Amino acid sequence: MTVERPLHIACIMDGNGRWAASRDLPRTAGHTAGEENLAEIVRLAVDRDVGWLTVFGFSTENWVRPRSEVRHILGLHEKLFGRIQELNELDVRIQWIGRPFDSPSARTPRYVQRAIRKAINDTAGNTGMVLTVAFDYGGRAELMSAVRAVRAAGEPVTPESIDKHLYLPELPPVDVMVRTSGEQRVSNFLLWQGAGAKIHFSDAAWPDFDADDLDRAIALAR
Ligand code: IPE
Ligand code: IPE
Ligand code: MG
């Protein structure tokens, strides 16, 4: 089967808490399992020649969660961005999308910033799949920042000028948006880039999202 351009799959990784609750485990255990499953899904996506995999790790709305849960999720992102050897073996280039560290509303703590910067730098030469992790990300915040930048540059507001001022202008349109755990919401994820995306809803909680699910999502695009 010929693919015209590399596929872009975007996953809203939901249901970690429910996965844990159904096993009588603390929510944090669900996030840990979710991070481990993401590492597996990255391998599966590379095998399937996915060009771009973008995952929602933590939203601008998620900061209101209990402090201990947020701290645990922060630590897991440090771990995720620390998987540099694995990413290099897979020829995966990692990126991050979210509120720029120097913007007044940004909330990513410095130790996570450092892990993000290091991972981006240490995988920059890879030419295979691009893995983009959304952390402290919100689609509305991204669009407001793009429109402000367009206006500050004195440019007319057009689709092209907005494209150019998104957080990651190189991110292609999303082909398939995946939402796990039986929820059917977009939850402020990639509002601009996902405008034309097909949507694959899966009943699996994110830690249980597997190869069959990924194949169903990919099949939607082809
Ligand atoms: C997704 O799982 C992870 C984040 C939003 C950080 P949840 O933590 O939202 O899990 P549920 O929805 O409570 O099951
Ligand atoms: C969406 O999940 C955000 C992430 C997966 C990081 P949420 O669990 O935060 O979404 P809502 O609030 O149920 O829509
Ligand atoms: Mg949720």
pLDDT in the model for residue 112 = 98
End-to-end CA distance of the chain: 9
pLDDT in tens, 55-70: 999 999 999 999 999 9
Indicate which residue's Cα is closest to atom 11 of ligand 2: 187
φ, ψ of residue 102 in degrees (nearest 5): -95, 5
Poorest-pLDDT segment among 39-43, 145-149, 218-222: 218-222
27 Cα to the center of ligand 1, angstroms: 8
Check if 88 is active-site: no
Q: Which ligand is nearest to the CA of 27?
A: 1
Q: What is the pLDDT of residues 10-58, one digit of tens each?
A: 999 999 999 999 999 999 999 999 999 999 999 999 999 999 999 999 9
From 11, 14, 37, 191, give the residue whose CB has the most ligand 2 atoms within 8 Å, as the site to mutate: 14
The protein residue with its alpha carbon nearest to ligand 2, atom 14, reads 187
Residues 131, 92 contacting (CB under 8 angstroms): yes
- Whether the CB of 185 sits within 6 Å of ligand 2: yes
Name the residue with the closest Cα to ligand 1, atom 6.
58
Ligand 2 atom at shortest distance from the alpha carbon of 134: 6
Instruction: Let me know: does 113 contact 75? Beta carbons within 8 Å.
Output: no
Ligand having the closest approach to the CA of 179: 2
CA 161 – ligand 1 centroid, Å: 34
Whole-number Å distance between alpha carbons of 114 and 33: 23
Percentage of the chain beyond pLDDT 90 is 97
Q: Which ligand is nearest to the CA of 32?
A: 1
Confidence of residue 137 (pLDDT cuts 50, 70, 90): very high
62 tagged catalytic: yes
HSE-up (13 A, CA, CB side) for residue 219: 6
